[in-house]
Amino acid sequence: MAQQFDVVVIGSGPGGYVAAIKAAQLGLKTAIVEKWLTKDEKPSYGGTCLNVGCIPSKALLESSEKFHEAQHDFELHGIGLKDLKVDVKAMVKRKEDIVGKLTGGVAGLLKGNGVTAFEGKGMLKANKVVEVTLHDGKTETLEGKNVILATGSIPIEIPPTPTNGDTIVDSEGALEFSSVPKRLGVIGAGVIGLELGSVWKRLGSEVVVLEAMDTFLPAADQAIAKDAFKFFTKKAGLDVRLGARVTGSEVKKNKVEVTFEDSEGEKKETFDKLIVAVGRRPYTEGCLDKGCGVSLDERGFVQVDDQCRSTVPGVYAIGDVVRGPMLAHKGSEEGIMVAEIIAGHNAQMNYDTIPNVIYTHPEIAWVGKTEEQLKSDGADYKVGSFSMAAIGRAMAQNATDGQVKIIADAKTDRILGMHIFASGASEMIAQGVIAMEFASSAEDLQLTCFAHPTNSEAVHEAALAVDNMAIHKVNRKKR
Mean pLDDT of 286-303: 97
**Known catalytic residue: 452?**
yes
Residue 469 has pLDDT above 80, yes or no: yes
228 vs 226: CA distance, rounded Å:
5
Contact assessment for residue 405 and residue 221, using Cβ atoms and an 8 Å cutoff: yes
Exactly one of 361, 452, 460, 472 is catalytic; name it: 452
Q: At what angle do helices 88-112 and 54-72 cross, to 10 degrees?
A: 140
153 vs 195: CA distance, rounded Å:
18
For 168-278, give the CATH class: alpha beta
pLDDT digits (tens, 9 = 90+) for 56-98: 999 999 999 999 999 999 999 999 988 899 999 999 999 999 9
pLDDT digits (tens, 9 = 90+) for 99-151: 999 999 999 999 999 999 999 999 999 999 999 999 999 999 999 999 999 99
For the entire predicted model, the pTM comes to: 0.96
Contact assessment for residue 216 and residue 193, using Cβ atoms and an 8 Å cutoff: no
Sorted by sequence, the CB contacts under 8 Å of residue 14 that are 6+ apart come out as: 46, 47, 49, 50, 54, 319, 328, 329, 331, 332, 335
Torsion of CA 140, 141, 146, 151, to 10 degrees: 50
Neighbours of 164 (CB within 10 A): 13
pLDDT for the residue 432: 98
- Sequence ranges of the chain with CATH classification 3.50.50.60: 3-155+281-349, 168-278
For the domain covering 3-155+281-349, report its CATH number: 3.50.50.60
pLDDT band of residue 476 (cuts 50, 70, 90) is confident
Q: How far is CA 250 from the centre of its chain?
A: 30
- Sequence ranges of the chain with CATH classification 3.30.390.30: 354-465
pLDDT digits (tens, 9 = 90+) for 335-350: 999 999 999 999 999 9
pLDDT for the residue 479: 52
349 vs 327: CA distance, rounded Å:
14
Fold designation for 354-465? Enolase-like; domain 1 (3.30.390)
